Structure 1
Amino acid sequence: MSLTDPFTICLICIIGLALLGLPIGHAMIAGSIVYLFAAGLDMGTAAEQLLNGMYTSYILLAVPLFILSAEIMNSGSMTERLLMFCNALVGRFRGGLALVNVVQSIIFAGMSGSAIADAAGVGKMMQKMMTDGDRYPASFAAALTAATAVIGPIIPPSIPIVLYALVSGASIGYLFLAGMVPGLLMGLMQMALVVMTAKRRNFPVEKPVPARALPGITLRALPALMMPVILLGGIYSGVTTPTEAAAIAAAYAFLISAIVYRTVTLRGTYQTLLSSARTTASIGMLIAGALVFNYVITVENIPRTLSAFLQGFELSPIMFLIIVNILLLVLGCLLEGTTIILIVLPVLIPTAQVLGIDLVHFGIICVVNIMIGLITPPYGLLLFIMTNIGQVSLRSLVREITPFLIAMLVCLAIITFRPDLVLFLPRFFGYQG
């Protein structure tokens, strides 16, 4: 590969533009157009690939709809009522608010589908609750909030899983099912770690919620608690597609907030739609750039070349998965998760198929890796978000989050070496993989 090779020029263009501050989606589109020009191909192919990819992929509609449902929840009072319910369940134990933080992430995982949305929305509220009155160190509260937010995109619904389904062709429904056990396992490991830390550091015990108040708290939270039931029930019963279920989730969140809880105003609705549109546009440009760049990768025959190269080493499926884990963990420290899914995984998926690795199992491994990357120093995105929200230093945050990071790596190792644990629920519901 020489410096005058069209693909080399394309990569230099993308990296150079990204370093100059251009969003990576725009940089990929520009680099791909330069490639088409240098290779003597029709530059209109870039627009064709972009339009075909964006307008023929029905699955992509789920992304803005999940984003909208999360924004509606965060703008209404659904989050406050769910937090009260979580506090009633586990708040009475030592380190109760820390346990509430974990439990709310497990519950909210079935609603927003985004780690960043969970951290910026509910996570901000949890940070304030935990640090109020100096109950918990601010750095510990911020670290726990970042760690628990990672659960969101593993337990369905999940925007990263939707994007993986787009590039792999695997069933979203079975991918959603496959994420449940790993997500719950991660949540249980975090709760165990919180319990041990609470005893060692003598975290406070919250005032128990009287038993007579539990029915009322549960009843007030019930409409919000029904959201994941309706969402996932529609998908797995076959009544709705995942995209239709995402639309129902957004509509349900709005109706509950507006009619039942009566916390939605016209101004609030406008701000919610505006915020959702901005987030969707940001992700949409990244997807558009990836679609065009993936065409370049296909023309260059890179997936097949890499597959043949790796087969030359006679790797076993386990060795390949270990290499993928290391690669994605390193990339997760440096790149945004959506970029990894849309650019890196399409190159790795053909090799996984040749080695006989189940694509549903492979997808969950990849998503867990990418989520861990969000809290991995030095450039984990959630680390920067929580240093801003918690007003803590990056050094203190990294020190507090390290035990949770180790626990997640243990969870990653378990699901890598025990595929039956990941595929148990999909197979129960008829998956043949």
Structure 2
Amino acid sequence: MTVSLAFMVALGLITFLAFFGLPMGLAMISGSILYLLMRGQDMGIAAEQFLNGMYSNYIMLAVPLFILAAEIMNSGSLSDRLLKWCDALVGRFRGGLAQVNVLQSIVFAGMSGSAVADAAGSGKMMQHMMTKDGKYTPSYAAALTAATAVIGPIIPPSIPMVLYALVADTSIGYLFLGGVVPGLLMSGFLMVQIGVTARLKKFPVEPPVPLRQLPRMTWEALPVLMMPVVLMWGIYGGVTTPTEAAAVAAAYALVVSIVVYRSVRARDFYRSLLLSAKTTASIGMLIAGALVFNYVVTIENIPRSLSLLLLSWDLDPLMFLIIVNVILLVLGCVLEGTTILLVIVPVLIPTAQALGIDLVHFGVVVVVNIMLGLITPPYGLLLFIMTRISGSPMKALISDVMPFLIGLLLALALFTFVPETVLWLPKLFGYQGMLL
């Protein structure tokens, strides 16, 4: 596989600019423009590529809407009520607060679609609850919160899966369904680990919430618990598209916060809009840069060349998936997940198709890999976020997160080697598969 001098210079410029702190989206745009200049092409192609990509793709609207839904929930009392309900269910067992952390992530996953939103929102409250009165060390609480947060984008809705559907031209609905069982299995792995550790380290037992109070607490949390049900019913009942479901999620969170719980004021809503706009602008710039750079990659014929190279190695589908897992896990240590999805994954998709790998299965494996990169030392984004939230040293946090990471890697191996763990639920809803 050969590449032109112009491409090598452009790639070098992108690396140089990113290394010195320029946002990755702007770095990719700069490198792509330099490439077009060296190849004697019209500079307007850059603007044309990201404008066409951003404004002709209806699916892109789902990203800011899911982000807004998460911000509204964080500004209201929805997350707090959810935590109280989870505590009533599993807080009575040894290590119960740690189990609450996992359970709230499962439910919160059906609302935000973002690991960062989970960690920054309900994760702050879990950190406070677990470390209060010295029940758990700050590093253990932070490590568990980071590990449970990665479940968020696996169980639908999922912003990374929306982006994967964009680059792979795959059904979002079936991708969402494909993430349900893996997300629950990952949660199960974590809960088993906590159960074993709780007995070995004598974790505290929380005062049990009387069972007679459970119906009342469930009733109070019911509007929050119904949000994932409303979303899934809308998508799979044929009432809404996934993008429209994202709008429903934001509207539902706002109505419940204002009308039912009366916990969001005008100032809070404005702050949610502002934070959502900032996050969306950051992601949008990254997507724009990726669209332009992907055009450069296509001109260089890199996806086809790489596909032919990998096929010449006579790999079987399983070996290819193992190689992809290793590549993505390594890249996840140093690159932001959205960059991997928008730049690296499109290069791998043609080979996956040529090997007959189902693109829904491939998408879930890819997203799980990228999420695990968020807690993979030394540069996992969630590690830095939880270090700031908890105040614990990075060394202690990494030490406590490694057992959880190993458990989640075992779960990833299961999804990789047994595609039916991903495809069983989509097939139950009529998915015919995408094998070529």
TMscore range, shorter length? over 0.9
Task: Name 1:380's counterpart in structure 2.
Answer: 380
Answer yes or no: is 1:243 the counterpart of 2:243: yes
Instruction: Report the alpha carbon displacement of residue 355 of structure 1 after superposing the two structures with TM.
Output: 0.4
Q: Is the 8 A contact 2:3 2:300 kept in 1?
A: no
The equivalent residue for 1:364 is: 364
Q: Counterpart of 2:229 in structure 1: which amino acid?
A: V
**Corresponding letter in the other structure for 1:139:** S
- Counterpart residue type for residue 121 of structure 1: G
SS at match of 2:376: coil
Show the counterpart of 1:352. 352
Identity level (%): 67
Mapped to 2, the partners of 1:406 and 1:264 lie a distance apart of 40
Give the alignment of 1:316-355 within 5 angstroms: 316-355=316-355
- Cα shift at 1:20: 1.8
Report the CA distance between 1:381 and its aligned residue. Answer: 0.6
How many angstroms apart in 2 are the aligned matches of 1:16 and 1:406?
33
SS in 2 for 1:109: helix
Asked if 1:59 corresponds to 2:52, the answer is no
Displacement after TM superposition at 1:55 (Å): 0.2
State the partner residue of 1:69.
69
Alignment of 1:21-40 (within 5 A): 21-40=21-40
Counterpart in the other structure of 1:203: 203
- 1:54-133 to 2 correspondences below 5 Å: 54-133=54-133
Name the counterpart of 2:412: 412
Separation in 1 of the partners of 2:19 and 2:251? 40
CA contact (8 A) 1:164 1:363 kept: yes
Aligned: 1:142 with 2:148: no
Contact 1:3 1:9 in 2 (8 A): no
* Alpha-carbon displacement from aligned partner over 1:109-168 (angstroms, at most 9, x marks no partner): 000000001001100110000001101111100000000000000000000000000000
Q: Which residue of 2 aligns with 1:426?
A: 426
Cα separation, 2, equivalents of 1:173 and 1:337: 21
* Partner Cα distance (2:72, 2:270) in 1: 11
Q: Judge conservation of contact 2:69–2:253 (CA < 8 Å) in 1.
A: yes
Report the CA distance between 1:4 and its aligned residue. Answer: 7.5
Pair 1:180 & 2:187 matched:
no
Query: 1:205 is aligned with what amino acid?
Result: V
SS at match of 2:284: helix
Equivalent in the alignment of 1:296: 296
State how far apart, in whole Å, the 2-side matches of 1:213 and 1:314 are: 61
Question: 1:271: which partner in 2?
Answer: 271
CA distance in 2, matches of 1:90, 1:2: 57
Distance 1:37 1:402 in 2: 46
Matched AA of 1:124: K
Is 1:212 the counterpart of 2:212? The answer is yes
Gaps of 5+ in 2: none
Which whole-Å CA distance do the structure 2 matches of 1:299 and 1:131 have between them?
A: 54
What is the alpha-carbon root mean square deviation over aligned residues? 1.0
8 Å CA contact 1:70–1:112 kept in 2: the answer is yes
Secondary structure of 2:110's counterpart equals coil
**Structure 2 match to 1:399:** 399
The alpha-carbon deviation at position 17 of structure 1 amounts to: 1.0
Q: 1:2 offset after TM fit, Å?
A: 9.4
The one-letter amino acid paired with 2:196 is: M
Deviation for aligned residue 1:325: 0.4
How far does residue 3 in structure 1 lie from its aligned partner after superposition? 10
Within 1, Cα distance between the matches of 2:163 and 2:218? 34
Aligned partner of 1:298: which letter? T
Structure 1 residue 75, shift from structure 2 partner: 0.4
- Whether the 8 Å CA contact 1:303–1:347 is kept in 2: the answer is yes
Q: Which runs of 5+ in 1 are unaligned?
A: none
Amino acid at match of 2:423: L
* Residues 4, 300 of structure 2: 8 Å contact kept: no
Question: Which string of whole-angstrom CA distances, capped at 9 and with x for unpartnered residues, describes residues 234-254 of structure 1?
Answer: 001111000000000100000
Instruction: Indicate conservation of the 8 Å contact 1:2/1:8, yes or no.
Output: no
CA contact (8 A) 2:105 2:151 kept: yes
1:266 CA drift (Å):
1.0
SS in 2 for 1:110: helix
AA aligned to 1:184 is L
Does residue 161 (structure 1) correspond to residue 157 (structure 2)? The answer is no
Cα distance in 2, alignment partners of residues 293 and 367 from structure 1: 21
Secondary structure of 1:376's counterpart equals coil
Q: For residues 309 and 3 of structure 1, what CA distance do their matches in structure 2 show? A: 14
Q: Give how far 1:403 is off.
A: 0.8
Secondary structure, counterpart of 1:98 in structure 2: helix
Work out whether residues 116 and 382 of structure 1, in 8 Å CA contact, stay in contact via their aligned partners in 2. yes
